[in-house]
């Protein structure tokens, strides 16, 4: 096996100086770096100015789309309807769309009242199994 060859490092020329940027360009770059969910004005426009009534949604409530997104749907509503072809929890939707839970509940409430999505309670397993099932298993094992 031959040892790797060493190469000499040559000094790199310094980068060319950047032209000065305007404060508005710096603010736009900072807003893009934060992400779309960090802009409070965007959150207000997504949530709208509804009457304040919200559906009883939990982080683990499953959301399923009933139809394809209509033409009049906002981009966020269309994204929810595309994502919810298979059941997704509110927490997953919130993470995928990078929206806070409170904004997500307002958005989902609008979709539920328009009957575009259906909210399902999560499947909860029973704390204790059925006694008759345990007895049937026990009798089956005794017969072996």
Report the DSSP pairing between strands 62-65 and 117-120. Answer: antiparallel
- The token duo for 80 is 């929810």
Q: Which domains does the chain have, with CATH numbers?
A: 36-120 (1.10.10)
Whole-angstrom Cα distance, residue 19 to residue 83?
A: 43
- Confidence at residue 141, expressed as pLDDT on a 0 to 100 scale: 92
Res. 24: pLDDT tops 90: no
What is the 8-class DSSP label of residue 116? S
Residues 86-140 have pLDDT tens digits of: 999 999 999 998 888 888 888 898 899 888 999 988 766 666 778 888 899 999 9
- Confidence at residue 65, expressed as pLDDT on a 0 to 100 scale: 92
**Burial of 110 from C-beta contacts in 10 A (0-12 / 13-18 / 19+):** buried
Which helix (H) or strand (E) segment holds residue 47: the answer is helix 40-47
- Confidence at residue 30, expressed as pLDDT on a 0 to 100 scale: 56
3 state SS of 119 = strand
Residues 50-92 have pLDDT tens digits of: 566 777 888 889 999 998 888 888 888 899 999 999 999 999 9
Q: Model's pTM, two decimal places? A: 0.56
């Amino acid at each position: 096996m031959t040892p790797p060859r060493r190469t000499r490092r040559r000094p790199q020329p310094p980068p060319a100086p950047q032209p000065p940027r305007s404060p508005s360009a710096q603010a736009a770059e900072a807003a893009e770096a934060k992400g779309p969910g960090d802009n409070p004005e965007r959150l207000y426009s997504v949530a709208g100015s509804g009457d304040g009534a919200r559906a009883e949604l939990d982080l683990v409530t499953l959301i399923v789309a009933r139809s394809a997104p209509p033409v009049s749907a906002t981009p966020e509503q269309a994204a929810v309807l595309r994502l919810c072809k298979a059941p997704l929890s509110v927490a997953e939707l919130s993470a995928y769309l990078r929206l806070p839970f409170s904004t997500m509940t307002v958005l989902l409430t609008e979709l539920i009242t328009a009957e575009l999505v259906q909210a399902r309670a999560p499947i909860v397993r029973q704390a204790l199994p059925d006694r008759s099932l345990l007895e049937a298993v026990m009798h089956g094992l005794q017969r072996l």
